[in-house]
Amino acid sequence: MTEAAELPPVPEQARDVFGARYADAIRYAELLAEAGVKRGLIGPREVPRLWERHLLNCAVLSEVVPEGVTVCDVGSGAGLPGIPLALVRDDLKITLLEPLLRRTNFLTEVVELLGLDHVTVVRGRAEEVMGKLPPVHVVTARAVAPLDRLATWGIPLLRPYGEMLALKGDTAEKELKASATALSKLGAVETSILHVGEGVVDPMSTVVRVEVGESPGGVRFAAKRAKAARTGRARRRRG
């Protein structure tokens, strides 16, 4: 029996959530179960719970993403949450940021196969692309790192008054409290814990929202951002 055969029946909620992209969502689930497992992007034990734990769990993040904004999915891995979000929100301009080549190859194949013209795949680490990628309205992440470390990577990629949305589990409140000082130094002005996906996933998905002020990354990253911008301009002039 192949991993693809282990996929459970598609939940009824998936048709409502993914709408016109329902068939593409099914194809993505099949790709995760086949190529994703073979390439070590997800474990074979995840295949039976791909829909509830992964695709739907990530797709409902769209409930708290504003309309028409730019998004950077940090440490995108196999495309979670970036690709489910892209499937339900074609109004967004999404960058899937991932440092590992085998993962970016998979992401590029998925984006091309599903015709996700509003999605770009970039290979690199967050700290490497700061100043090279345009700042975004929203940074997303899932299962990348503890919140304080994730914020160090993600917040500097934001535009002023942007927000980071991190999908977390039962540790969300504990991580948020432990990260309070670090988040403040990074320019966070407000934090909250949201629960999304009522009637779609059980338990609902937990999202930590970190909103920043006019200086994403705080003083610590202001000089780095300015230097990166100057370097980028110089390269463009030489080019």
Tell me the pLDDT tens digit for each residue of 50-64. 999 999 999 999 999
What average pLDDT is seen over the chain? 92
pLDDT over 90 for what percent of the chain?
Answer: 82
124-160 confidence digits (pLDDT tens) = 999 999 888 999 999 999 978 899 999 999 999 999 9
**Confidence bin at 1 (pLDDT 50/70/90):** very low
**Confidence bin at 224 (pLDDT 50/70/90):** low
Query: For residue 134, what are the contacts with CB-CB under 8 A and spacing of at least 6?
Result: 70
When pLDDT is averaged across residues 211-231 and rounded to a whole number, the result is 74
DSSP assigned state of 229: H
Rounded to two decimals, the pTM is 0.90
Indicate the burial class of 33 (C-beta count within 10 angstroms; 0-12, 13-18, 19 or more).
Answer: buried
When pLDDT is averaged across residues 103-120 and rounded to a whole number, the result is 98
**Residue 29 pLDDT exceeds 70:** yes
Within 10 angstroms of residue 125's Cβ, the number of other Cβ atoms is 13
Which pLDDT does position 3 carry in this prediction? 38
Which pLDDT does position 196 carry in this prediction? 98
Q: What are residue 75's phi and psi, to 5 degrees?
A: 60, 50
> Which carries the bigger pLDDT value, residue 231 or residue 89?
89
Q: Quick check: 217 and 200 in contact, CB under 8 A?
A: no
**Confidence bin at 4 (pLDDT 50/70/90):** very low
Q: What are residue 43's phi and psi, to 5 degrees?
A: -80, 150
When pLDDT is averaged across residues 164-178 and rounded to a whole number, the result is 94
